[in-house]
Amino acid sequence: MAHQAVVIRTVNALCSPESYDAVYHRPSHDARMPSIEDLHQIVDRLRAVLFPGFFGEEEMTLEAMPYVLGSALLEVQSLLVEQIKRGYCFTCKNQGRDCKDCEERSQAQAEGFIASLPEIRRLLATDVVAAYEGDPAAKSPQETIFSYPSIKALTNYRIAHQLHILGADLIPRIITELAHSATGIDIHPGTVIGERFFIDHGTGTVIGETSVIGDNVRLYQGVTLGAKSFLRDASGALVKGIPRHPIIEDDVIIYAGATILGRVRIGRGSIIGANVWLIHDVEPGSVVLQSEHARPVIEINGDLRDTRARVTGVVRAEIGPAG
């Protein structure tokens, strides 16, 4: 009985408002949360539709293609209507909606999304070309489709971005996070990305919600296109929904580990070197590199020392000014 008493006390504590208030989802009109499993299935089906013959279990001959794609899209549309509706209902209470049009709105968005798939495939085809041409190790464009994390992440992003444009709630973010967890590439569905985009290697890349990326842009691993900080209004509340991430113009290359913060503009044809920190605009055709005279230092117990000396301790600063 003693162990039951512990459980009872714990349940009572967990069911107290002060415990659950910040973490409890109160469903509106019995709406369930979106299904991660169903969203995985939707994306997997769409990946097979967008890249026929590469993914999926069905044999993809030219003769069978119309039937296989038709069957897949009917399944996707049915699943997508339900998931869009759940995402919509997740936010309707907070946004003061009565949700009377949930079903009709979800059906219209799903149909609009299905109609956009030829354009999504066209954009992904340009990304595949960019991956093949941008990586000397790639033996064929087909290799990048089947095995490159950049193409996997961009497929999820371009699906999610179209749903974002159509006004779907919550679902686009979940879809990009599915790719984030699998590839280490974090692209917000609100980002605007042009044609021929390639992220080489990709791990640790972060692209924020209001970023705008032009055509023929290449990033390497660990690049961050982020915001400097949240603004607050007169009452102290966070101000969201304003442009706060970089604009990257056409034909820009950004090398590994670079961090670009705020609503700055990187001009067309510029090259941003590895590990550069940028919070200002860059003119077109610029080359931005770390200073050749900077020397690495570490801080040990308040003492800055050149890393060329053999020392031990906790590293707090990686790059210091020339001395």
pLDDT digits (tens, 9 = 90+) for 38-82: 999 999 999 999 999 889 877 788 888 999 999 999 999 999 999
3-state DSSP of 253-287: EECCCCEEECCCEECCCCEECCCCEECCCECCCCE
Q: Which CATH number fits domain 21-185: 1.10.3130.10, 3.90.1150.10, 3.40.190.10, 3.40.50.1980?
A: 1.10.3130.10
Q: What is the CATH number of domain 204-290?
A: 2.160.10.10
- Whether residue 241 contacts residue 258, with contact meaning beta carbons closer than 8 Å, is answered with no
Q: Which of 160, 151, 107 is nearest to 129 (CA)?
A: 151
DSSP state of 142: H
Question: Span 201-210, mean pLDDT?
Answer: 96
Q: How far apart are CA 169 and CA 164, in angstroms?
A: 7
Domain extents for the chain? 21-185, 204-290, 292-323
**What pLDDT, on the 0 to 100 scale, is given for residue 311?**
34
**What pLDDT, on the 0 to 100 scale, is given for residue 307?**
42
Most confident segment among 86-90, 226-230, 280-284: 280-284
Average pLDDT, the chain: 87
Q: How far apart are CA 236 and CA 203, in angstroms?
A: 35
Q: Give residue 103's pLDDT band: very low, low, confident or very high (50, 70, 90).
A: confident
**What pLDDT, on the 0 to 100 scale, is given for residue 263?**
95
Q: Residue 263 corresponds to which amino acid?
A: R
Q: Which of 40, 47, 82, 28 is nearest to 174 (CA)?
A: 40
**What pLDDT, on the 0 to 100 scale, is given for residue 172?**
97
Global pTM value:
0.85
The predicted-structure confidence for 217-271, as pLDDT tens digits, reads as follows 999 999 999 998 777 777 877 777 789 999 999 999 999 999 999 999 999 999 9
**What pLDDT, on the 0 to 100 scale, is given for residue 32?**
80
Q: Give residue 158's pLDDT band: very low, low, confident or very high (50, 70, 90).
A: very high
Statement: residue 312 has pLDDT above 80: no
**What pLDDT, on the 0 to 100 scale, is given for residue 23?**
83
Q: Which of 220, 162, 219 is nearest to 192 (CA)?
A: 162
Q: How far apart are CA 319 and CA 129, in angstroms?
A: 37
- Whether residue 292 contacts residue 311, with contact meaning beta carbons closer than 8 Å, is answered with no
Statement: residue 313 has pLDDT above 70: no
